Structure formats: structure tokens, C-alpha cells
């Protein structure tokens, strides 16, 4: 099915806005998926095309955060590998299990994230001691930690964090998907004690990893419309470049309200869809 030319400006603008929002707080799919479905393409092609164009925007955002010194390959490589592995496993499991089983749970978790951040206005404003590293130090002090935990425990905490959350959230992203970025961000804030800007940058790198893994499957099965996806990808990359730049300059105070807004909108969307399906 070929689209008339009138669709393409709207697709570009949608990609631009979604790329800007996604680079800052995630949730760009709230805009792009409905737009792709509105063109009349079947759901599988819409999801594959969305994964293609969003991956381009996430790539640009990740590059921009790396250029500002917020990401280093040596610090994200373990998470990237674990997340990609989890995403592939999750995508395979989709063919054998119904991902809709998770639908009632995810909005509750997202609302919980929004409320938690709402009642903790200082969370993410500044870097804090890592809760995971602190737990490892206490474990070492108890005599159970063994010799592999160093006195500061920061390296081990990052390694465990990347492996465990990479596999879990990568699997979730490949299996179901909505809210993955929000879960990554809150995990970074609580588990590692990073500020909101650092958490956002790390989240983008992990999102990129799982997106590319899922995209590979859509490409193999032929569910990517490159003409439509290419137009949106140009908008995505431009929006992501602008959004990442604004996030770096604005920091946590700028990111926080946008993040809370997108988490809330996603929760409302999932609740509404679940209500409609139950009728």
C-alpha cells in the first residue's frame, strides 16, 4: 500500500516531536505508533517500522549523550550485551506466551513510579551513594562477600546492575515493551544513585541495545516499511539531537516534569486500552 504525499509531512513532524520527547524522558511511541496505524498499515508493519525509526532517534540521542561525556563504552558495554540478550530472548518468548498477561500489572508499576518521584522531589537532582554498592559492602563486612568484592564495591555494583537489569528489562522490552525506559530510569536512580541526567543517558544506551535486537527480528521477517520509516527517522534524529542538547543544559529540573508527564500518560493509555478490551 502506497501512501499519498500528504502523509509525509505529518510523519516527519511526528518523528521530530517524538524524537525530542524520547531523548529527554522516553515515551515517543505514544505518538509514533498511533500515527503509523492511522496510515492504514497492518499492526506488524506498524510495529516494525516504528522500531526502525525510533532506533534511529535513540541512536542519535545516545551519540549526543556520549559526546557530552555522559556515556563511556567501558561503562555501558556489559549492560548493552545483557540487554540485547534479554531482548532477543523476550522476542522469542512472544511466540510461545501471551504478552497481554502483563497488561494489568504495568500501569500499576508506572503509577507507582510517578507517585514515588512525586513524593521525593530531590531524587535524581544530585548523585547519591549507590544503594547496590552499599548492600555489597555490608555483605562483605558480614563475612559472606568473599574476596571478589572490592572495598568500594562500585565496580562490582555496576557489573551486577548491568547484568541483572539488562537481562530483566531487555527481556521485558522484547516481550512486551511499554514503560521500559521508565523502569530503567528509576532503577538507575534508586539502585545506582545516579542523578536524573546520568540515568537518562544510561537509559538511552540500554534502550538502543534492546531496540536494535528487536529491530533485527522485524527486518528478518520483512515487517519494516523503509519509505515511511525513513521519513520519520529523519525527524526522529533531528528531534533527538535537539532533545538531548536541551536535557544536558536543563538537567534534572528540566527532565523531571517531562518524565513524570510521559510516565503518567503511558499508564493512562495502558489502563484505557485494558478497559476497552475488557468490555
Assign residue 146 a region: left if phi > 0, alpha if psi is -120 to 50, beta otherwise?
A: left
Q: Which pLDDT tens digit goes with each residue over 94-108?
A: 767 776 777 788 888
Q: Which pLDDT tens digit goes with each residue over 34-87?
A: 999 899 888 888 888 999 999 999 999 999 999 999 998 888 999 999 999 999
205 and 194 in contact (C-beta within 8 Å)?
Answer: no
77 and 205 in contact (C-beta within 8 Å)?
Answer: no
pLDDT above 70 covers a percentage of the chain that reads 91
- Cα distance between residue 77 and residue 145, in whole Å: 25
* pTM for this model (two decimals): 0.89
Q: How many residues does the chain have?
A: 279
pLDDT 10s per residue in the chain (279 long)? Answer: 577 888 899 999 999 999 999 999 988 888 998 999 899 888 888 888 999 999 999 999 999 999 999 998 888 999 999 999 999 998 888 767 776 777 788 888 888 888 888 888 888 888 887 777 777 767 666 655 555 455 566 777 888 899 999 999 999 988 888 889 999 999 999 989 899 999 999 999 999 999 999 899 889 989 899 999 999 999 999 999 999 999 999 998 899 999 999 999 998 988 888 777 766
Res 270: pLDDT: 85
Question: Among 157, 162, 207, 158, which residue's Cα sits nearest to residue 182?
Answer: 207
Question: Among 141, 195, 184, which residue's Cα sits nearest to residue 161?
Answer: 184
- In 97-176, where does DSSP find H-type helix? 105-119, 131-141, 154-175
Q: Which three cell numbers stand for residue 183?
A: 523502569
Neighbours of 230 (CB within 10 A): 17
- In the chain, where does DSSP find H-type helix? 7-25, 29-38, 43-67, 73-94, 105-119, 131-141, 154-175, 180-187, 196-220, 226-278
- Cα distance between residue 192 and residue 276, in whole Å: 38
Q: Which three cell numbers stand for residue 250?
A: 536543563
Amino acid at each position: 500500500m502506497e501512501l499519498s504525499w500528504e502523509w509525509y509531512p505529518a510523519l516527519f513532524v511526528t518523528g521530530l516531536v517524538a524524537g525530542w520527547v524520547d531523548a529527554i524522558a522516553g515515551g515517543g511511541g505514544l505518538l509514533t505508533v498511533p500515527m503509523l496505524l492511522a496510515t492504514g498499515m497492518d499492526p506488524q508493519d506498524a510495529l516494525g517500522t516504528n522500531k526502525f525509526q525510533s532506533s534511529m532517534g535513540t541512536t542519535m540521542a545516545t551519540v549526543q549523550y556520549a559526546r557530552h561525556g555522559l556515556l563511556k563504552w567501558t561503562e555501558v558495554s556489559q549492560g548493552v550485551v545483557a540487554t540485547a540478550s534479554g531482548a532477543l530472548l523476550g522476542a522469542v518468548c512472544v511466540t510461545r506466551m501471551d504478552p497481554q498477561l502483563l497488561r494489568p500489572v504495568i500501569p500499576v508499576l508506572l503509577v507507582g513510579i510517578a507517585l514515588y518521584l512525586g513524593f521525593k522531589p530531590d531524587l535524581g537532582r544530585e548523585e547519591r551513594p549507590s544503594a547496590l554498592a552499599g548492600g555489597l559492602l555490608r555483605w562483605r563486612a558480614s563475612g559472606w562477600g568473599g574476596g571478589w568484592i572490592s572495598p568500594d564495591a562500585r565496580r562490582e555494583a555496576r557489573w551486577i546492575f548491568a547484568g541483572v537489569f539488562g537481562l530483566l528489562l531487555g527481556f521485558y522490552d522484547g516481550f512486551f515493551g511499554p514503560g521500559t525506559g521508565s523502569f530503567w530510569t528509576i532503577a538507575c536512580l534508586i539502585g545506582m544513585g545516579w542523578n536524573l541526567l546520568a540515568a537518562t543517558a544510561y537509559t538511552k544506551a540500554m534502550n538502543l541495545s534492546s531496540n536494535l535486537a528487536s529491530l533485527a527480528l522485524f527486518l528478518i521477517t520483512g515487517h519494516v516499511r523503509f519509505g515511511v520509516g525513513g521519513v520519520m527517522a529523519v525527524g526522529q534524529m533531528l528531534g533527538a539531537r535537539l532533545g538531548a542538547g536541551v536535557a544536558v543544559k536543563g538537567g534534572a529540573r528540566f527532565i523531571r516534569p517531562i518524565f513524570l508527564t510521559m510516565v503518567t500518560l503511558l499508564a493512562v493509555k495502558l489502563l484505557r486500552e485494558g478497559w476497552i478490551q475488557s468490555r
